[in-house]
Amino acid sequence: MTNKELADVFALVADLLEIRGEVIYKTLAYRKASESLTGLGRDVNDIWKQGGIKALLEIPGVGKAIAEKIDELLATGQLQFLEKLKQDVPAELAELLQIPDLGPKKVGMFYKELGVLSIAQLKEAAEAGKLRDLPGMGEKSEIKILAGIESLGRRSGRLPLGSVLPFAEELLAVIHKLPGVKAAEMAGSLRRMRATVGDIDLIVGAEQPEAVIAAFVALPNVARVLGQGTVKSSVEFHNGMRAQLWVHRPERYGTALQYATGSKDHNVRLREMALDKGLSLSDQAFLKEDGSELLCATEEEVYAVLGLPYISPELREDRGEVQAALKGALPKLVTTEDIQGDLHMHTTWSDGQMSILQMAEAARQRGYKVIAITDHSPSLGLVNGLTPERLQEQRKEIEKARKKMGDSLLILHGIEVDMRADTTLDLPDEALAELDIVIASLHISMRQSRAQVTDRLLAAMHNPHVDIIGHPSNRNLPDREGADLDWDAVLKAAAETGTALEINANPRRLDLDDVQARRAVEMGIKLAINTDAHHSDHMDFLSYGVATARRGWVTAKDVINAWDPKDLLAWLKS
């Protein structure tokens, strides 16, 4: 079983326990373990094989009971505890929790009282008016459930960051202009720049919260108002996206923004620290023991009260950032300004939309000092990949572009060479040897076994001409999972061979992800943050790649395209 499959089992256990009405903290423990397994950089199988149950206990959120369950699952593929649980609470019921405004208590009640097992049966019962007479239910609740079921069809769960952020930025610009708005910012996972986000969280500072909320829910692209109170409201827009807005008075803006940015676990950590100092931290203020409030207008003040330096939102995942902050050991995170160039882009020579010169011009306008032209290799027939012969021809055009750009931009001639299913590369070594830079990428036969697909990456890294592994897992957000790689082996080989790993900045990729990027820099592996642009506009993706790197604690010295081009050239030669 993979980490993901284990995590899914424990998430299901958590859902079913919750429906059964188990103590909430037991439920939370399973959910926490599930999340911990999802975010774990290492393969649980390896940990288990090397150290058994004892080693499993080292995983955060995994104690004796859950470690034994992981052991059972990995040994037998089954979990007796879950099989027994299913006899009480049918597993299908977990699906009903997906319906907005429907939680474990009501799902449990509908099952017990009416035998409702599926969304279809629930819909039938609601339409027949059978829900309204149950305790705590009424006509409105029934309508709400039907609306929730309908919205399930429209909504697609978590969306890639790249398809939400541009809309959220426009929305924020509109909110800034609403009367009485003193300050406004995104919060939540969007501000932390997670690869996928569920909805848009917004915080506003204003003297008269209710007026701002009234104006917000009246925006023309609001399709439905999901909730509206005196400090908080939530809406669904015509494009299906949802946003929640909290409005606080400006003197409370810092605690509010900090609170809403999360993550939940990061905030729990801060509240614990606050309690140690005799303070209770909420979105409103620090509450002192004598009942008086300590207000923070900025996030910096919140952290300062706790004796901490400011912690960037991208780091706020409770992955050791608070401990590092206490020690003054937070990394100096890479920024978009650090980036000197883009080392992965396509042109009309393969599947790009612009010429070499057009891409070069665009790069120069962005202030870049270096680019690499890296079109596809021949086996990707659909994209008109380059044969050794066409590479020779392309070289001539690169030369022309170099003359045109002069000293203002260094143009490297490269390739994105495919890793074939049989572990060979898609171009002969002689062809690769003539190029300035070689990216090797996985595109086809991703569903090979872990051993096979990992071997392809290892083989590529051991080829002396390969400089960078492009989008290592080849994931495609939000749906296509990456290849089932043995990350320990991949990272070890990258460290040994001195091969850089790419953080592909395309928001559908963000690959390496933040977790593996962090492991990579801890192992001294170099990274490249590239956009894989197929059009000059795609160079804008850079900020997504940088955000992913920042989430992975990456500093400028870890990133080869944040170096002075002279140092980059020396590294490529070595």
Partner DNA sequence: GCCGTTTTCGGCCCGACTGTTTTCAGTCG
> What residues line the site for DNA (CB under 7 A)?
23, 25-26, 28-30, 32-33, 57, 60-67, 97, 100-107, 132, 135-142, 144, 188, 198-199, 201, 227-233, 244, 260, 264, 267-268, 271, 276, 280, 282-284
Q: In the beta sheet, which residues pair with residue 375?
A: 415
Query: Distance between CA 468 and CA 499 in Å, rounded?
Result: 6
Query: Distance between CA 281 and CA 271 in Å, rounded?
Result: 6
Q: How far is the CB of 24 from DNA (least distance, A)?
A: 8
Query: Distance between CA 4 and CA 35 in Å, rounded?
Result: 9
Q: How far is the CB of 244 from DNA (least distance, A)?
A: 6
> Residue 375 is which amino acid?
D
Alpha carbon separation from 218 to 237, 247, 495 (Å, rounded): 11, 15, 55
Q: How far is the CB of 311 from DNA (least distance, A)?
A: 18
Q: Which is nearer to DNA, 478 or 565 (CB)?
A: 478
Contact present, 39 and 515 (Cβ < 8 Å): yes
- Of the CA atoms within 13 Å of residue 249, those in its CB half-sphere come to 7
Q: How far is the CB of 88 from DNA (least distance, A)?
A: 15
Q: How far is the CB of 282 from DNA (least distance, A)?
A: 5
- Of the CA atoms within 13 Å of residue 233, those in its CB half-sphere come to 21
Structure token digits, residue 41: 């950089």
Q: How far is the CB of 269 from DNA (least distance, A)?
A: 9
Q: How far is the CB of 13 from DNA (least distance, A)?
A: 9
Q: Which is nearer to DNA, 85 or 446 (CB)?
A: 85
Contact present, 469 and 500 (Cβ < 8 Å): yes
Is the bond into 250 cis (omega within 30 degrees of 0)? no
Q: How far is the CB of 199 from DNA (least distance, A)?
A: 6
Query: Distance between CA 10 and CA 31 in Å, rounded?
Result: 7
Query: Distance between CA 100 and CA 354 in Å, rounded?
Result: 45
Phi-psi sector, 129: left (phi>0), alpha (psi -120 to 50), beta: left
Query: Distance between CA 306 and CA 243 in Å, rounded?
Result: 30
Query: Distance between CA 47 and CA 192 in Å, rounded?
Result: 29
Query: Distance between CA 158 and CA 475 in Å, rounded?
Result: 15
Q: Which is nearer to DNA, 100 or 331 (CB)?
A: 100
CA dihedral 535, 539, 542, 545 (to 10 degrees): 20
Q: How far is the CB of 173 from DNA (least distance, A)?
A: 22
Query: Distance between CA 224 and CA 457 in Å, rounded?
Result: 48
Q: How far is the CB of 64 from DNA (least distance, A)?
A: 5
Q: Which is nearer to DNA, 103 or 309 (CB)?
A: 103
Q: Which is nearer to DNA, 202 or 362 (CB)?
A: 202
Q: Which is nearer to DNA, 320 or 428 (CB)?
A: 320
Q: Which is nearer to DNA, 188 or 352 (CB)?
A: 188
Alpha carbon separation from 370 to 343, 413, 530, 558 (Å, rounded): 8, 11, 12, 17
Query: Distance between CA 184 and CA 320 in Å, rounded?
Result: 28
User: Residues 534, 537, 539, 542: is their CA dihedral positive or negative?
Assistant: negative
End-to-end CA distance of the chain: 40
Q: Which residue has the tokens 């090979």?
A: 448
Q: How far is the CB of 316 from DNA (least distance, A)?
A: 14
Q: Which is nearer to DNA, 25 or 403 (CB)?
A: 25
Q: How far is the CB of 328 from DNA (least distance, A)?
A: 19
Q: Which is nearer to DNA, 202 or 542 (CB)?
A: 202
Q: Which residue has the tokens 């609470």?
A: 89
Q: Which is nearer to DNA, 279 or 409 (CB)?
A: 279
Q: In the beta sheet, which residues pair with residue 413?
A: 373
Query: Distance between CA 349 and CA 345 in Å, rounded?
Result: 11
Q: Which is nearer to DNA, 261 or 441 (CB)?
A: 261
Q: Which is nearer to DNA, 30 or 253 (CB)?
A: 30
Q: How far is the CB of 11 from DNA (least distance, A)?
A: 14
What does the DSSP 8-state code read for residue 473?
A: T
Q: Which is nearer to DNA, 7 or 360 (CB)?
A: 7
